[in-house]
Structure 1
Amino acid sequence: MAVLGSQARRDRIEELATTTGLASVEELSNLFDVTASTIRRDLAKLTADGRLARTYGGAMALTAHPEASLRQRTGEGFEAKRAIARWAAARVRAGETLLLDAGSTVGALAHELRTAKDLTIATTGLTALQELSDIETLHVECLGGTLRPLSQGFVGPLTEAALERMTFDRVFLGTDGISPEHGICEADLRQTRLKELMARRAEHVYVLAHAAKLGRRPFHAWAKLPPGWTLVTDAEADPDLVSALRARSIDVETVTGGEQ
């Protein structure tokens, strides 16, 4: 990285809030090739200006990253999401029972499944329901509960109780971020608990996430998935992050626009 002036460096540090959520002095010092004391001065200035929030242990919590609505997220990485959705739809076989999460990428998968036949599809997401509600060749189950308006998904004890009464061939999950160390990230602990339960009810577990989600830590609620799950992302994924995920026995599929 080219050496940046102090203002440009501080702007870049703040920008990282949208991708990582947390940064240590050591990490930032290495990233910008400056001394730790320089980074501490940057962070002190950003904190004084109200652009960062301090946390314990020497790490700096970047400004809280507001949860985007599903409508806001739908346009992000649109072509990548379509490619991921097509790849996921091609894995599905007639006669299977599927579980679809809420989220824009899983919603894109639901759109791809509109032409399928002989499937049972349960979902916690309004987007999937809207895509599939008029398809007479599919059997659709809604796992109701408490609706989160931002994610357009159902969560809570009623959702979990309904989930306990079914098993699935495949589950397709969305996420706000993925970390090799922590798992998959969401804004709400109810979401992460539900994703863990969803993963336990299915034989094959897929997480659908375009490349920008890899390495993101925008929130502090995490789901730990059972070993053997598959991340489906696009070809822009950071090779180092892909390698780190594979080192933890996570299958990673990177797809391009025309791949199925």
Structure 2
Amino acid sequence: MAVRQSQARRAEIVRLAKSSGLASVEDLSVLFGVTPSTIRRDLGQLTTEGLLARTYGGAIALDAHPESSIRQRALEGFEAKRAIAKWAASQVLPGETVLLDAGTTVGAMGEFLRDATRLTVITAGLTALEELADANDVRVECLGGTLRHLSQGFVGPLAESSLARVSFDRAFLGADAVTADRGICEAELEQTRLKELMIERAGEVYVLAHAAKLGQRPFHAWAPLPPGVTLVTDSSATDEQLRPFTDAGIAVVTV
């Protein structure tokens, strides 16, 4: 009986999330007459099954919440992203050639690299290009390709062809989400294919993702995490979020 009740409750949670786009832990707890911890377990199970994506204080239906634009994402976790970007930029040495992926967190690195010396930056993102456009001692190369307006990044065969002709000391990758078992999650396969090629061409690989993205599965395109990758996140990440990564042998830096 308890199992059937749980299944019925979870099915109703999915229905409600699809109709409204958002399910709140507090509202669902009152509606179903169960504790918030029970609802959190339900949401965790539905997230694992790929039916919902977790948010702070609740969950969203995947098909009710399309990919957000880069302008929307720029407002999410602003201070955390800036701290991550600052630490990542501090790893870059004079004279290196580095790759900056598209995305708000990686793009924010441009601010901290403007005064770098003898640096070559290759990028697939307009955010980094804008930040470094007038940095006198930074050579900037753009991969080119097809512009994804939502992410303000270049993808496609032209971008992939450009990657075949370059290599990097370090690659800094963004992510819509990241898990220890599946890797980097993105909205489209073109994005994950490009990240795989970036990883192949880099000496050191860093994935920059603030805590809200850890363990999430909002989409169905994946790029596996390579051996030796470093995950860089912010200090709000919990031990529960970080444990799967450390257990998998992935180096984790919190800032």
- TM class by shorter-chain length? 0.7 to 0.9
**8 Å contact 1:207–1:230 — kept in the other structure?**
yes
Q: Report how many aligned residue pairs link the two structures.
A: 218
Deviation readout 1:73-118 (Å, 9 max, x if unpaired): 0011111111111111111100000000000000111111112121
Matched, 1:246 2:243: no
1:61 maps to amino acid: L
The equivalent residue for 2:118 is 118
Matched, 1:209 2:209: yes
The equivalent residue for 2:22 is none
When residues 60 and 221 of structure 1 are mapped into structure 2, their CA distance, relative to the original with a 3 A threshold, is closer
Cα deviation, residue 36, structure 1: 2.8
Matched, 1:225 2:215: no
SS of 1:87 mapped into structure 2? helix
**8 Å contact 2:14–2:51 — kept in the other structure?**
no
TM-score computed with the length of structure 1 as normaliser = 0.79
Superposed, 1:8-27 pairs within 5 Å as none
CA distance in 2, matches of 1:112, 1:152: 20
Deviation readout 1:115-170 (Å, 9 max, x if unpaired): 21210000000000111111121100000001000000000110000011001000
Which runs of no fewer than 5 residues in structure 2 stay unpaired?
Answer: 20-47, 53-60
Deviation readout 1:171-205 (Å, 9 max, x if unpaired): 00000111111111000000011111101100000
Structure with larger RCO (C-alpha < 8 A, sep 6+): 1
TM-score computed with the length of structure 2 as normaliser = 0.81
Percent identical pairs in the alignment equals: 58
When residues 101 and 48 of structure 1 are mapped into structure 2, their CA distance, relative to the original with a 3 A threshold, is closer
Out of 51, 64, 72, which is 1:61 matched to? 51
The equivalent residue for 1:198 is 198
Superposed CA RMSD in Å reads 2.0
Which runs of no fewer than 5 residues in structure 1 stay unpaired?
Answer: 1-33, 53-57, 256-260
**8 Å contact 1:145–1:159 — kept in the other structure?**
yes
**8 Å contact 1:214–1:238 — kept in the other structure?**
no
Superposed, 1:156-167 pairs within 5 Å as 156-167=156-167
* Structure 1 runs of 4+ with >4 Å offset: 46-50
Cα deviation, residue 41, structure 1: 1.4
The equivalent residue for 2:28 is none
The equivalent residue for 1:79 is 79
When residues 207 and 49 of structure 1 are mapped into structure 2, their CA distance, relative to the original with a 3 A threshold, is closer
